[in-house]
Amino acid sequence: MIAQVFAAIIFIAMFAFIVTEIVERHVVSLICALLTLILVFGVGMHSMSAVVDTINLRSIFTVEFWYHSAKTAGSGSGINWETIAFVFGMMVMVEGMARVGFFRWLCMRIAKLVKYQIIPIFITFMVLSTILSMFIDSITVILFLAAVTIELSRLLKFHPVPMILPEIFCANLGGSATMCGDPPNIIIGTSLGYSFMDFVTNTGVIAGVSLIAVLIYFYLAFKKELLLETGTSVDYGSLPSPESIIMDKRGFLVSSVIFASAILLLVTHAQTGLTVSAIGLIIAAVTLMTSGKHALALLKKVDYKTILFFIGLFVVIGGLEQTGILEIMAGFIGRISGGNRMIMIAIIIWLSAVASAFVDNIPFATTMIPIIKSLSAAYGIDLSILAWTLAMGTDIGGSATPIGASANVVGIATASREGYVIKWGLYCKKMLPATVMVVLISMLMIIFRYL
């Protein structure tokens, strides 16, 4: 009982401190992790084995960390080292691509392909945001896309905000389509043993249908504002040629090959047996080996704070799991739904969406994984249905408010720093209806397809 009280207090305190940002979130999660080890496992449970299980270091030294001979779930409770290794590897690869100018080149190339016409740029950038976010983190996607959008808006004379907001939404939508698109999906996939293609054929299909709806919605919502200043003379000669953006031609080619290989490895990992952790580490190693003198700089640019945040978070959630609190919460959801699968899906998707609109979706999804496992076991509902429901709720819900997802924050900051300040009112007026629409589409598709 005392262990449960400690675990609950630590968890609530962690959320409170993350929200207030008094201390950086990785510091909060690491301190809370330490408190979990001491108070929950030590004082409350007197269990050294719980500490060892939660730190989970031994999982790194197993074959399953690198190679899955059959579809197996991840290492259970505690630190999910598979996620950590994959996130690290992708961060190194993305830094390598950014160094050579890959993302800026891609954006400018597409703008040139559509002859710098505003509405075609608007549509193609939304699609580009979705596709890139399927494979790399949405923060990087938005960082480059928003910067290029502002650059183009000055040259082509249009307001950038009506283009940046849909890009943000599509980055979150793209993230929901694959296992590696958004951190909750990586955690769901590695914890429950789903492959890249499992996500593509389930959440990917929902994201694809939603993208069509979103393209229509944002076109109708922003068409007028985007075309407000058309007719103003544009100096096309001042537009940078895409080729001039490439900083290092050899590096660019190498980065493109590495990126293509990463996609290929991820798409085929269920067949090859390579785990996402192995893919992440292989990609990181190849990127570093081919970066020569830039390797150290790339390593320094990796967002270690996020990695530390993940580590701390897994320990705190491990505390909740080991003390049985999450089973109690699962029982609560089960009772409210009366065991009805449709109601259970509705509760999970809307609860996840609303929670993710206000708090970090990573701790939320991590907390929910053991809950959906319990629900699946107790009510005989296929775990994968609940996993897709959780993924769509957490990934899409984050789009509703300026603080819901990392891509929103980065997109808003990039625009605001250039003077195009995006306030809550403006953001929610356009993004909330789109979020509700996509969550609704997701819920209906899940219900009709799986029940």
List residues near other proteins by CB under 8 A: 19-22, 139, 303, 305-306, 402-403, 406, 408-410, 412-414, 416-424
348 and 333 in contact (C-beta within 8 Å)?
yes
| Structure letter (DSSP) for residue 274 | B
Residue 351 corresponds to which tokens in the numbers above? 């609860």
Contacts of 425 (CB under 8 A, 6+ apart): none
Q: Name the minimum Å distance from CB 305 to other proteins.
A: 8
Residue 252 corresponds to which tokens in the numbers above? 């660019």
Q: Indicate the residue among 57 and 421 with the shorter CB distance to other proteins.
A: 421
Which DSSP string do the residues of 94-156 spell out, in sequence order?
A: HHHHHHTTHHHHHHHHHHHHTTT-HHHHHHHHHHHHHHHHHHS-HHHHHHHHHHHHHHHHHHH
| Rg of the chain taking only CA atoms, in angstroms | 22
Q: Name the minimum Å distance from CB 356 to other proteins.
A: 12
Q: Name the minimum Å distance from CB 84 to other proteins.
A: 18
Q: Indicate the residue among 153 and 191 with the shorter CB distance to other proteins.
A: 153
For residue 105, which of 66, 137, 78, 145 has the smallest C-alpha distance? Answer: 145
Q: Indicate the residue among 138 and 322 with the shorter CB distance to other proteins.
A: 138
Q: Indicate the residue among 34 and 359 with the shorter CB distance to other proteins.
A: 359
Q: Name the minimum Å distance from CB 403 to other proteins.
A: 4
Contacts of 290 (CB under 8 A, 6+ apart): 96, 251, 254, 258
Q: Indicate the residue among 348 and 353 with the shorter CB distance to other proteins.
A: 353
Q: Indicate the residue among 231 and 419 with the shorter CB distance to other proteins.
A: 419
Q: Indicate the residue among 163 and 344 with the shorter CB distance to other proteins.
A: 163
The helix/strand/coil state of 67 is strand
Q: Indicate the residue among 417 and 449 with the shorter CB distance to other proteins.
A: 417
CA distance 379 to 85: 34
Contacts of 58 (CB under 8 A, 6+ apart): 52
Q: Name the minimum Å distance from CB 81 to other proteins.
A: 23
CA distance 204 to 208: 6
- One-letter identity of residue 74: G
What dihedral angle (degrees, nearest 10) is formed by the CA atoms of 232, 233, 237, 240?
0
Which run of H or of E encompasses 55?
A: helix 48-55
Q: Name the minimum Å distance from CB 228 to other proteins.
A: 11
Q: Name the minimum Å distance from CB 423 to other proteins.
A: 5
| Structure letter (DSSP) for residue 302 | S
Q: Name the minimum Å distance from CB 211 to other proteins.
A: 24
Tally of helices (H runs) and strands (E runs) in the chain: 22, 0
Q: Name the minimum Å distance from CB 358 to other proteins.
A: 9
Q: Indicate the residue among 15 and 65 with the shorter CB distance to other proteins.
A: 15
For residue 90, which of 287, 256, 268 has the smallest C-alpha distance? Answer: 287
Q: Name the minimum Å distance from CB 143 to other proteins.
A: 8
Q: Name the minimum Å distance from CB 298 to other proteins.
A: 16
C-alpha pair distances (Å), 149 with each of 143, 235, 410, 419: 10, 16, 14, 14
Q: Indicate the residue among 20 and 271 with the shorter CB distance to other proteins.
A: 20
Cβ neighbours around 86 below 10 Å, total: 27
Q: Indicate the residue among 137 and 321 with the shorter CB distance to other proteins.
A: 137
